[in-house]
Amino acid sequence: MRIKLKVISGLALCAATALPLAGCWDKVELESRGIVNAISVDKDTSSGDVKVAVALPNLAEIAAKNGAKQGPVQEGRGKTLLAAIRDADGKTNQKLFLGQMKAVIFGSDALKDESIMRSAIDTLRRSEEVNRKVLLFAADDQAEDILEAKLEGNPLIGTYFTTFYKNSSVSRGSYIKQDLQGAAEALESNGACLIPKIGAGEGFICPEGADLIKNYQYVDDLTMDQTDGVLLLQNKCVGMSDTAEIDGAFASLRIKSCVKHASFALDGQGKITYNLRLDIKGDVQEQDDENRQALKEAFQKNIAARITEVAGIFSRANADGFGLGQEMYKFANDLYENRASAAGFMEELTVVPSVSVEIGSNGMISR
Pairing of strands 217-222, 33-35: unpaired
Q: To 10 degrees, the CA torsion angle through 169, 174, 180, 184? A: 160
Among residues 276, 339, 279, the alpha carbon closest in space to that of 307 is found at: 276
pLDDT in tens, the chain (367 residues): 444 444 444 444 444 444 444 444 444 454 566 889 899 999 999 999 999 999 887 654 444 444 454 557 889 999 999 999 999 999 888 888 999 899 999 999 999 999 999 999 999 999 999 999 999 999 999 999 998 887 776 677 778 887 777 655 444 445 888 999 999 999 998 899 999 999 887 777 888 999 999 999 999 999 999 999 999 999 999 888 898 887 777 888 999 999 999 999 998 888 899 999 999 999 987 656 667 888 899 999 999 999 999 999 999 999 998 999 889 989 888 888 877 656 678 888 999 999 999 998 755 444 4
d(CA 259, CA 281): 9
Helices 114-126 and 81-89, interaxial angle, to 10°? 60
- CATH top-level class of 225-359: alpha beta
Give the contacts of 276 (CB within 8 A, at least 6 positions apart). 233, 260, 261, 262, 307, 351, 352, 353, 354
Q: Is residue 116 helix, strand or coil?
A: helix
Residue 340: the pLDDT is: 60
Q: Report DSSP state, residue 19.
A: G
Domain ranges of the chain: 28-222, 225-359
Residue 154, sorted as left (phi over 0), alpha (psi -120 to 50) or beta, turns out to be: left
Q: Which of 363, 364, 367 is nearest to 250 (CA)?
A: 367
Quote the CA–CA distance of 323 and 360 in Å, as a whole number. Answer: 32
* pLDDT on residue 71: 56
Query: Residue 186: its pLDDT value, please?
Result: 93
What is residue 93's predicted lDDT score, i.e. its pLDDT?
Answer: 80
Complete DSSP assignment for 278-322: EEEEEEESS--GGGHHHHHHHHHHHHHHHHHHHHHHHHHHT--TT
The half-sphere exposure of 220 on its side-chain side, counting CA atoms within 13 A, is 17
Beta carbons within 8 Å of 308's beta carbon, 6+ residues apart: 229, 351, 353
Q: State how far the Cα of 358 lies from the Cα of 255, in Å rounded to an integer.
A: 10
Q: What is the per-residue pLDDT for 7?
A: 42
Is residue 329 helix, strand or coil?
helix
How far is it, in rounded angstroms, from Cα 286 to Cα 246?
11
Q: Which amino acid type is present at position 228?
A: D
